[in-house]
Structure 1
């Protein structure tokens, strides 16, 4: 009998084991490739929307770097975009969809201010609660804004825009989210140096910058000692108290010495956050600010080879002469004399 009997159906040949393994391995590689591609797409999308890896490293007409803007806006996440609103105005925004990439906005503007900026009557832009540049390039900064003076060479170029007025060129910065005053100082000083060294100011000049790192930090608010007001030995006032008996407190920034740095002190009534300081005092030694005060009538003197101005202002506080007298404060003339006399002695100036 023939052993090869035809049963009516051909016998199926079982798959070879090595072929099945090959097909399974191929599928795994396909899945792995798809996963790698998806991760690459996700990573690229994250990088695009949350970093500036593919963007220019200078923003706002080239005034500042992305790192400087990010330091002010806070955090390493979020994509930065800049809008040049005018040749002297710029907005930087941070956006991103990853958690932690909160939105924020930085605005920079350059404009001409009044001749006596930042000591306009009733509108001082420097105070005891601000960080102050310690150097030839004056500036003041807090957690929300700041300013730095630009060289006088920028004045003629800034006169062209219709909105510009005044004589003092200044770069201002402001943010919508609280920031580091030191980061604001570094950014504005750096931007001022870039502007000064470019044709934006009509000619390239060397910017007398405070460097951004040479910044004095405000003191803590402290109760005033009426025998040494603002920490100045011999600066004495009679007993002063607020309209409802509030005690007087003070805060200073800068350094009161003979090295040419500026110093300011604010006097305020405790818990009077609505009205703010009732008196601002300043020892001004930076040449740019001394020149700005040439027409204000403040007492000035030659001290240790430089000109010093003793500035004083209380016009920002809402009181009339009778209310002022009721607090025990001396009148404006006497206050100025007491302050200048004590400050000159503290600096070692010839009297």
Structure 2
């Protein structure tokens, strides 16, 4: 007896529903796979930048959705041989409205051993959170490679990241990158560099105290109104400001007993045994080599014609006041 269309319709509907379900599942799986490929780092490599940077660590710095990629940095090539590195890492999300591309620039540069205290393209040291062998400020950080990597200038792994990036993650990335670079260059130390357990918070600006500028008893500068004192243990720095609004840089005073920094300084070209010049010196304080530095700002330069002490005299006043703080047994050589 022939069947009627009505008898077929439930079976056909079940077939259609099954086909639709399978099709939807296939589309969903394809979209999920596409999302994983475009907006996460699933199935990506474990390292970037020619093996110098761990992908996992770059992900920790560049938070948010997006796939990690790398490309040569603006210098592209370097004359530093096996310690050379210049790489831009990006995290870009596809098809997500409002998402921004995260960017991290990692490079190895050659600097005089006291680069962190001499100004130029480096931030005022009183705004830096120092730790043994490195420092971090908003949006950037650096770690010095072992002293054996120094050849007339210290080798420094540095990075520029988005402001707001986790400084601890940035330091961890730089520390491990420095270990990889020094290892392949054959200048690693017996114990690998390690990231610090704690990073000192940035210090706030405060009113200066007459007769005790920067917390140093007997040290005073009448024109200075505000100060920022950063004390990270083995490294100390004080930035001073004068003028209306106390925003005009007067001078920054720094000192460090960090063995890694001292080693880089002593192996740098131009070091004479007592320092580099009259305001960047090294002396012994309680048996520890101690580096002192002073950088002056435009407000101080303007005040030279109105009775401010000469730079050498200002530096001498600073180091004399700092002797008690660092336990110096004798005056700093000028």
Please give the TM-score of this superposition, normalised by the length of structure 1.
Answer: 0.77
Q: Give the one of 181, 191, 214 matched to 1:195.
A: 181
Q: Give the one of 299, 303, 309 matched to 1:323.
A: 303
Q: Secondary structure of the equivalent of 1:68?
A: helix
Q: Secondary structure of the equivalent of 1:209?
A: coil
Name the CA distance, whole Å, in 2 between partners of 1:320 and 1:278.
Answer: 5
Contact 1:149 1:169 in 2 (8 A): yes
Which residue of structure 1 lines up, in the alignment, with residue 195 of structure 2? 211
Q: Give the one of 87, 90, 104 matched to 1:93.
A: 90
Check 1:91–1:319 CA distance in 2 against 1; reply closer, same or farther (3 A cut).
Answer: same
Q: Give the one of 150, 158, 161 matched to 1:175.
A: 161
Shift of 1:99: 3.5
Q: Secondary structure of the equivalent of 1:146?
A: strand
Greater share of helix: 2
Name the CA distance, whole Å, in 2 between partners of 1:66 and 1:181.
Answer: 17
Shift of 1:110: 1.1
Kindly indicate whether residue 12 of structure 2 is the aligned counterpart of residue 14 of structure 1: no
Q: Secondary structure of the equivalent of 2:240?
A: strand
Kindly indicate whether residue 311 of structure 2 is the aligned counterpart of residue 332 of structure 1: yes
Which residue of structure 1 lines up, in the alignment, with residue 135 of structure 2? 140
Please give the TM-score of this superposition, normalised by the length of structure 2.
Answer: 0.80
Deviations 1:176-204 (A, max 9, x none): 555233332222122112222x22x2344
Shift of 1:219: 1.0
Q: Secondary structure of the equivalent of 1:216?
A: coil
Q: Paired residues, what number? A: 309
Deviations 1:38-75 (A, max 9, x none): 11111111111111101102111222222321222232
Kindly indicate whether residue 231 of structure 2 is the aligned counterpart of residue 254 of structure 1: yes
Which residue of structure 2 lines up, in the alignment, with residue 288 of structure 1? 260
Contact 1:50 1:101 in 2 (8 A): no
Check 1:333–1:96 CA distance in 2 against 1; reply closer, same or farther (3 A cut).
Answer: same
Kindly indicate whether residue 220 of structure 2 is the aligned counterpart of residue 237 of structure 1: yes
State the superposition RMSD in angstroms.
2.9
Kindly indicate whether residue 25 of structure 2 is the aligned counterpart of residue 36 of structure 1: yes
Check 1:279–1:350 CA distance in 2 against 1; reply closer, same or farther (3 A cut).
Answer: same
Shift of 1:126: 5.2
Check 1:65–1:99 CA distance in 2 against 1; reply closer, same or farther (3 A cut).
Answer: farther
Kindly indicate whether residue 68 of structure 2 is the aligned counterpart of residue 80 of structure 1: yes
Name the CA distance, whole Å, in 1 between partners of 2:304 and 2:286.
Answer: 36
Check 1:141–1:238 CA distance in 2 against 1; reply closer, same or farther (3 A cut).
Answer: closer
Contact 2:250 2:300 in 1 (8 A): no
Name the CA distance, whole Å, in 2 between partners of 1:310 and 1:203.
Answer: 28
Which residue of structure 1 lines up, in the alignment, with residue 39 of structure 2? 50
Larger radius of gyration: 1
Which residue of structure 2 lines up, in the alignment, with residue 4 of structure 1? none
Check 1:319–1:123 CA distance in 2 against 1; reply closer, same or farther (3 A cut).
Answer: farther
Which residue of structure 2 lines up, in the alignment, with residue 161 of structure 1? none
Name the CA distance, whole Å, in 2 between partners of 1:33 and 1:121.
Answer: 64
Name the CA distance, whole Å, in 2 between partners of 1:173 and 1:62.
Answer: 16
Check 1:51–1:100 CA distance in 2 against 1; reply closer, same or farther (3 A cut).
Answer: farther
Shift of 1:36: 0.8
Contact 2:300 2:308 in 1 (8 A): no
Q: Secondary structure of the equivalent of 1:295?
A: strand
Shift of 1:266: 0.8
Which residue of structure 1 lines up, in the alignment, with residue 239 of structure 2? 266
Contact 2:113 2:262 in 1 (8 A): no
Q: Secondary structure of the equivalent of 2:222?
A: coil
Name the CA distance, whole Å, in 1 between partners of 2:298 and 2:43.
Answer: 53
5+ residue gaps in structure 2?
A: 78-83, 266-270
Contact 2:214 2:238 in 1 (8 A): yes
Contact 2:145 2:155 in 1 (8 A): yes
Check 1:321–1:38 CA distance in 2 against 1; reply closer, same or farther (3 A cut).
Answer: closer
